[in-house]
Amino acid sequence: MSYGQGGSMQSSKNVTPQKHTIFPIRLPLSILLALLVVITWSVFQQGTAYAASRDTLSSPPAVSAPYAALYDLTYHTSLMTKAATTETEIASTTKIMTALLVLQSYRLDHKVTITQDVINYVNENNASNAGLLVNDKLTVKQLLYAMLLPSGCDAAYAMAVSLKGSLDKFVAEMNQEAELLGLTQTYYTTVDGLHNPDSKGRYGYSTAADLIQLTTYAMQFPLFRQLVGTQTYSLPATSEHHAYTWTNTNHLLGTYPGAIGVKTGTTPWAGYCLVFAAVRNGETLLGVVLSSTSSQQRYTDSTALLNWGFSLFSKSRNRPAA
């Protein structure tokens, strides 16, 4: 079994990728959206009268996962939490942050050459991968598909090293972004969620609550939504690379009505994880289950949470005015 597996502005100019300057370019895009997420997050933590009125309709389903959360993206309301602020490893759901950082900071048409180091990294870690081949040249956008659909740790490694020069530098930037977004219970040690410690022997962690907050922000980027909502992506062979076909590890896509992403994750230390989202009748729900005991269980839990969440919308519409 491979670890890290499952089971988010493009310019036409071809120049060296550059990190956006924080002021003034990034302020409208990142700072203001981040502030919006932090502000609405207080609603998640504290609850609202609207949530309370909906809670009287029915109780949330019991879930087997030890850590879970369900969030209403339409009304920015917490619907359900279970040990949502308990820190735990999150496996390849880490790649949500990796994708976010790439999307808002680097050129998507920048080409990355796949090196032998990429292949060695995957083999040494028995990591999930997109089957990338040495000497192929792929764009950052193509590598985002390779990372988010088949949960390719090879793609994550290749982008991180190409864009920042080393894994450590990219991870440092991930932690800076986490701080900016107010993810106070999140710490990254890898770009892909593998069980590898930092120089001080610490392992990466996050919480269901922080993952809701992070993904709420990431889903505001149209390309991120497109990436994580894609079931299959095929890349024909060219003079620069082989042909590839990547299938999304998120089995809710195509099986659960209205599913729109987001990311799976699996390691022996993190268990089976899933960040998921779905839309029905214009209402959007976002959820997290972490440390499930099996792949099937995470889908059973997520489906139950979505069904319950959408039933609240239906019942709320049918309730007579007070």
Active site residue 151: yes
Distance in angstroms (rounded) separating the CA atoms of residues 320 and 315: 10
Active-site annotation holds for 92? yes
- At 159-183, the pLDDT tens digits run 999 999 999 999 999 999 999 999 9
Q: Helix, strand, or coil here: 312?
A: helix
pLDDT of amino acid 313: 78
The beta-carbon contacts of 113-117 under 8 Å, at least 24 apart in sequence, are 113/137, 113/162, 114/138, 114/154, 114/158, 115/158, 117/157, 117/161
* pLDDT digits 0-9 by tens, 26-51: 434 454 455 555 544 544 554 433 44
Q: What is the pLDDT of residue 58?
A: 78
- Given the residues 82, 95, 141, 164, select the one marked as catalytic: 95
The verdict on residue 237 lying in a domain is yes
Query: For 81-95, what is each residue's pLDDT tens digit?
Result: 999 999 999 999 999
DSSP 98-124: HHHHHHHHS-TT-EEEPPHHHHHHHHH
Is 82 marked as binding a ligand? no
Q: Is residue 15 part of a domain?
A: no
Q: Residue 169: enclosing H or E segment and its boundaries?
A: helix 167-180
Domain count, the chain: 1
- Looking at residue 9, its pLDDT comes to 33
Give me the torsion for CA of 8, 13, 17, 20, rounded to 10°: -70
pLDDT band at residue 204, thresholds of 50, 70 and 90? very high
Confidence of residue 136 (pLDDT cuts 50, 70, 90): very high
90 found inside a domain? yes
Answer with the residue of higher pLDDT: 232 or 59.
232
Q: Are strands 67-72 and 77-82 parallel, antiparallel or unpaired?
A: antiparallel
Does 240 fall in a domain? Answer: yes
Q: Is residue 81 part of a domain?
A: yes
Which is the catalytic residue, given 92, 292, 295, 302?
92
- Percent of the chain residues past pLDDT 90, beyond the cut: 77
Distance between CA 36 and CA 34 in Å, rounded? 5
pTM of the complete model: 0.84
* Both tokens assigned to 244: 């590839």
Domain assignment of residue 53, yes or no:
yes
Q: Which residue has the higher pLDDT, 149 or 30?
A: 149
Two structure tokens written together for 154: 């090879």
List the catalytic residue out of 8, 30, 128, 151: 151
Residue 297 in domain? yes
Give the confidence band of 322 by pLDDT, cuts at 50, 70, 90. Answer: very low
Asked, for residue 293, whether it belongs to a domain, the answer is yes
| Mean pLDDT, range 15-23, rounded to an integer | 29
Q: Residue 287 belongs to what domain range?
A: 22-318
CATH at 193: 3.40.710.10
CA distance 185 to 86: 8
Residue with tokens 């491979």: 2
CA-based nearest residue to 191, from 209, 167, 208: 167
- pLDDT tens across 109-133, in order? 999 999 999 999 999 999 999 999 9
